[in-house]
Chains A and B, each alone.
Chain A
Amino acid sequence: QSALTQPASVSGSPGQSITISCTGTTSYVGNYNLVSWYQQHPGKAPKLIIYEVTNRPSGVSNRFSGSRSGNTASLTISGLQAEDEADYYCCSYAGTWFFGGGTKVTVL
């Protein structure tokens, strides 16, 4: 069974950039454009912020960007703002769909 590994927490000061990694145990992350990222504020439903590794849905701030190197996908948040404090989940298809364990982003 595939697994996606994310750091449990990442923090940064307002205005800084942070990066959240998502490493897959199979080659699906590296070989297919099937990685997406979701933001979830406490008590709210998840929100899609990156799809197909690097694409932003309409209405999502351009401070969010996605990338990939080998079997690791990454989400970068530039110009960190207080409203970015949330949980972030990567997701990839590997036969079925798998989420990473989630990363809690704290704005210091």
Chain B
Amino acid sequence: EVQMVESGGGLVQPGGSLRLSCVASGFTFRSYEMNWVRQAPGKGLEWISYISSRGSSMYYADSVKGRFTISRDNANNSLYLQMNSLRVEDTAIYYCARDDGGNSWDHWGQGTLVTVSS
């Protein structure tokens, strides 16, 4: 069974940093492109970052470019999101999502909540 479990969320002050993790199981992680998608409380979905299967290509939404860094460790079936210079508007549930190869996301984690507040 495909499973992805995010962790690392929590309460952080504006300007602070957090590192999110997503541990995958039940599939060959190194063969799949991965993404982070977030959802602010009561709001819609927002794609924020993509990484290729080997980690050689990364893309970011304009809202996080220069502040967030996506990475992966294929040996440990893990995806990461380093978030720096956090803002109040970064408050959201952060989901990791597996790319099915057709520009859609067929499996999602349960999400981890990041709250940026003073």
Query: Which of A's residues lie within 8 Å of B, judged by CB?
Result: 1, 34, 36, 38, 40, 45-48, 51-52, 57, 89, 91, 93, 96-102
Query: Which of B's residues lie within 8 Å of A, judged by CB?
Result: 35, 37, 44-47, 50, 59, 61-62, 95, 97, 100, 102-106, 108-111
Chain A residue contacts of B45, Cβ below 8 A? 38, 40, 46, 89, 91, 99, 102
Cα separation A46 to B110 with both chains bound (whole Å): 9
Q: Looking at the complex, which one of A36, A48, A97, A100 makes contact with B44 (CB distance below 8 Å)?
A: A100
Q: Looking at the complex, which one of B59, B102, B103, B108 makes contact with A46 (CB distance below 8 Å)?
A: B108
Question: Distance in Å from the Cβ of A81 to the closest Cβ of chain B?
Answer: 22
Q: Looking at the complex, which one of B50, B104, B109 makes contact with A51 (CB distance below 8 Å)?
A: B104
Chain A CB count within 10 A is highest, among B35, B47, B103, for B103
Q: Looking at the complex, which one of A57, A91, A96 makes contact with B61 (CB distance below 8 Å)?
A: A96
Q: Looking at the complex, which one of A1, A45, A100 makes contact with B109 (CB distance below 8 Å)?
A: A45
